[in-house]
A and B are shown apart, each in its own frame.
Chain A
Amino acid sequence: MASEASKAISKEELWGGGRSPFSVSYGKMMMWYFLVSDALTFGGLLIAYGVARHSSEFAWPIGEQVFQALPGLEGHYPLAYVALMTFILIVSSVTMVLAVEAGHRNHKKDVVKWMGLTVIGGFFFVASQAWEWSHFIHGGGGAFKITQGMTVTGTLADGNTMQFDLNTADRVYMDHHFGTLLEEYLHGDPEVSMVESNGTVTLSGHGHTAVLEEVMVNKYVEDAATVSGSDMMKLWNAKASNGFVFGANMNENEYGVQQQYANFFFFITGFHGFHVFSGVIINLIVFIMVVRGVFERRGHYEMVEKVGLYWHFVDLVWVFVFTFFYLV
């Protein structure tokens, strides 16, 4: 049988009973308990998202079709940006675990290096999320609702054509250039003017001109298709004057008829982003303490290990958000 401690451990570090049940310090175990409770919160949020989705009678927006932009580039890159964010967070998790390893060797220089890189990685993730939010809020061109049902011919992404039966209040999507100018026009911007003639709609203003060449139906669900020509004008002429949606806010979003979609996006990624933000601040404080030699004097780098647990947890949550919000 194992004998009682052969190494003397100071009284302050031991629990009241003179033992340390899990052979970890009080602080580290409380960090684990906190993480369990925080994981329950995130688990609850993602499950609530699942409930909203399972009980929805309308098609739910698809991650690949909502999130396919990259900063400064035209074109479609499904989930590339989110995958990049995931990679940034995994890398900063790696630098964190390397800082913990350096701490176990009591190697201050290495701890400083890896902790510093972790702070930088976390900052890049928060900045990426800010861009993602901005893009989600501004949207991809906006949509209008139609006042009557009709059948139109649309071209699918693979080039095939198909008939679409649209109902009253279904949404028709505009392209980014047209939608941007239209939003300004609808807000009463005097510099933007609209001309409708010969079956075309032209918006001009602020040095840009946008012609409505095609619209999309089912843009964010699986059989997205483009509609042009006379069918497009039929849809445009049936637009509801108060049925325009641009991007997303707390009351409406262009991505899905379910407002829960936007609200869960804001809450889940926002709550996670807030964790990352606080993680960056905590990491920064510990980084400064490492640089000033606090832990060198203390004789161990357990504080790096504890903030490391929190930081890895943030990465862990993102892995699940990535799967259940974006992929599935």
Chain B
Amino acid sequence: MERDDLIVNESYALNNTHNDEAGRKIRRKIWVVTGILTLITIVEVALGIAVKRADSGLWTTVKLGFIVLTLVKAGYIVMSFMHLGDERKNLRNVVLIPYALFILYLIFIALSEGNSHLDLFETWH
């Protein structure tokens, strides 16, 4: 297995510099990501206004869409703005995997509990 913990060449964080040429490329990428994030926010607000909640079937789809769009936005912020995409693979995994596991578990267990509470209330009230 290839070792991922050794410092090779310029890869140490403090030496992470680049020249003007590379800077221009990075800045172009930053503006593209800005455009995507802004566009997603506009789409979210427009969907929220356009789709009526009374139309419950469509609204459920839109709600799921909001969650997907939010995760896309979060992905761009974490991977691009926070440079996690440029870090070593093991740092990325140490940050993302435990968090994802724990939060998915919490979402499942807590929302099940909430729904069950409502069921009990409606049954016995």
Contact = CB atoms under 8 A, between A and B. Distances in A.
A79 B48 contact: yes
A316 B2 CA distance: 33
Contact of A64 (B34, B49, B115): B49
A35 B83 CA distance: 14
A225 to B, nearest CB: 12
Interface string B3-33: 1011111111111111110010011001100
A319 B77 contact: yes
B49 A79 contact: yes
Contacts of A53: 114
Interface size class of A (residues with CB under 8 A): 35 or more
Given A101-B23, A105-B23, A5 B7 contact: yes
A43 B17 contact: no
A6 B90 CA distance: 21
Contacts of B37: 90
Given A20-B12, A43-B103, A309-B82, A90 B34 contact: yes
Nearest to B37: A90
B82 A222 contact: no
Contact of A40 (B83, B90, B103): B103
A40 B102 contact: yes
Contacts of B30: 94, 97-98, 101
A300 interface: yes
A90 B42 CA distance: 12
Nearest to A105: B23
B2 A2 contact: yes
A163 interface: no
A24 B13 contact: yes
Contacts of A320: 70, 74
Interface stretch (A44-52, A172-180, A263-271): A44-52
Interface in A97-117: 97-98, 100-102, 104-106
A300 B30 CA distance: 21
Contacts of B7: 4-5, 7, 9, 19-20, 23
Contacts of A19: 5-7
A108 B98 CA distance: 37
B48 A327 contact: yes
B87 A98 contact: no
Contacts of B81: 93-94, 96-97, 312, 315
A22 B103 contact: no
B50 to A, nearest CB: 11
A22 B88 contact: yes
A105 B118 contact: no
Contacts of B121: 55, 57
Interface of B: 2-3, 5-20, 23, 26-27, 30-31, 34, 37-38, 41-42, 44-45, 48-49, 52-54, 63, 66-67, 69-70, 73-74, 77-78, 80-83, 87-88, 90-91, 94-95, 98-99, 102-103, 106-107, 110-111, 113-115, 117-118, 121-122, 125
30 contacts: A3-B6, A4-B6, A5-B6, A7-B12, A22-B90, A23-B87, A28-B13, A32-B95, A36-B98, A40-B103, A50-B111, A50-B114, A57-B118, A57-B122, A63-B48, A93-B77, A101-B26, A101-B30, A104-B16, A104-B23, A105-B19, A222-B52, A222-B54, A305-B83, A309-B82, A312-B77, A312-B82, A316-B74, A320-B70, A322-B70
Interface of A: 1-7, 9, 13, 19-25, 28-29, 32, 35-36, 39-40, 43-44, 47-48, 50-57, 62-64, 78-80, 83, 86-87, 90-91, 93-94, 96-98, 100-102, 104-106, 222-223, 300, 302, 305, 308-309, 312-313, 315-316, 319-320, 322-323, 327-328
* Nearest 4 CB-CB pairings of A with B: A54-B114, A22-B91, A51-B114, A55-B117
